[in-house]
Amino acid sequence: MAQASGKGRRAGILGAAVGVVAAGAALGFTVERLTIGRAVRRMAEIHDPGEPFGTLRGDPQSVTASDGVELYVEVDEPRGWAAGPARTSGPGALNGTPVAPPAVSADRPTLLFTHGFCLPQDCWHYQRAEFSATHRMVFWDQRGHGRSERPPKDRKGRAKPVTIDQLGEDLHAVLQATCPQGPVILVGHSMGGMTMMALAQRHPELFGERIVGTALISTSAGRFQDIAFGLPRPSAKLLHRTTPAVLELLAKQTGLVERGRAIGGDFGLVIIRRYAFGSEVPESLVRYTEDLIQSTPIDVIADFYPVFGKLDMSEALPVFDRVPSLVLGGANDLILPVAHSEALADAMPSADYVVLPNAGHALILEHPDAVGNALRNLVDRAEDQLGSPSSRRAAQ
């Protein structure tokens, strides 16, 4: 038999490495793996409203981070009642009866949204539509995600290590550039909530002054090593031990890996369905979520992953208790289980704590009406406090 080529050996090593992780994960969804066709057909049979995902856009801007990385930002100015149709569903709508949104006011807080790991700003599709008629909004792509630049590499081609402190400073730069004055409510999902915690730890003076409300959605302050991802404990421990090395290897084979991701097929849909959602959702939503995740290059995933193993933001949590806050989690979240949200709520006694049943990690896409209700309640609390002249002056 002829000796294997170098390329063939590398592909074999890569396949073996992927197999180490896949073997552990497969234990958690063996039944689904055997019934992929049926699972995909079930998603396709669910009512699909034909949502125009990815079509909502704002005014594009570029914000320069402290280390020179250009961050892509979009700013949405409120359309008001004249420019937007009445809502016949979602928060405030009764039995399909159109409900006019509240009047737009110039002194209402800006809503600044920060997305999570492997997701660009387009994951906020439903929330963007929910508040489009009433509030100014800011959306941005974290470094390496979406349209934002990657960190610069050194002379040896190595990327500068990503740190949670740098992500907090990125959010600070976006806040300063897009909201130079006026009150702001921060909303973060998953890693976006961790980025908010880093901001709170490094710039606590902003909370209660510029920042008048916060929402921490499906996120955690640490103890990432305890997460089992719905797997048996031995498999989860193996996954935690091997993932960093596997990702490092995959990052060196970006072309091969990205081609493999592109042809993942129905198996990829079943994995996304299991780990992103906690209830039955339309196939179009699963495919949209898959597209968002696949937009993040494998080497960026490898660069960011070590951040979570070292994360401990518990000392930042009391800062959030200075302002009206919301902790929102999904009862069926396998990525950051609801126990992590409960720990946040315990450290923030004045926060509203909401757990959505039948909700997974991507609950902002899965249950937009319930998320919209929770965010509306937060915004109302913050705006009620701003009704005081002294509070209003402090936010300017």
* Interatomic CA distance for residues 214 and 396, integer angstroms: 17
Q: What are the pLDDT digits (tens) for 4-45? A: 444 444 443 334 334 433 333 333 333 333 333 444 444 444
Task: Identify the band that residue 254 occupies on the pLDDT scale cut at 50, 70 and 90.
Answer: low
pLDDT (0 to 100) of residue 252: 61
Q: Are 267 and 36 in contact (CB under 8 A)?
A: yes
Q: Tokens representing 392? A: 């209003």
Q: Tokens representing 118? A: 């492997």
Q: What are the pLDDT digits (tens) for 113-126? A: 999 999 999 999 99
In this structure, what is the dihedral angle of CA atoms 76, 82, 85, 86, given to the nearest 10 degrees?
110
pLDDT (0 to 100) of residue 360: 96
Q: What are the pLDDT digits (tens) for 161-184? A: 899 999 999 999 999 999 999 999
Give CA separation, 4 vs 9, 10, 12, 13, 257, in Å. 6, 10, 10, 12, 20
Listed in order, strand segments (DSSP E) in the chain are 59-64, 70-76, 110-114, 137-140, 184-189, 211-217, 325-330, 352-356
Q: Are 242 and 3 in contact (CB under 8 A)?
A: no
User: Residue 160's closest CA among 66, 261, 292?
Assistant: 66
Q: Which residue in this structure is represented by tokens 């937060």?
A: 378
User: Residue 99's closest CA among 285, 369, 325?
Assistant: 369
Q: What are the pLDDT digits (tens) for 289-345? A: 999 998 998 888 888 888 888 899 999 999 999 999 999 999 999 999 999 999 999
Task: Write down the pTM of the prediction.
Answer: 0.79
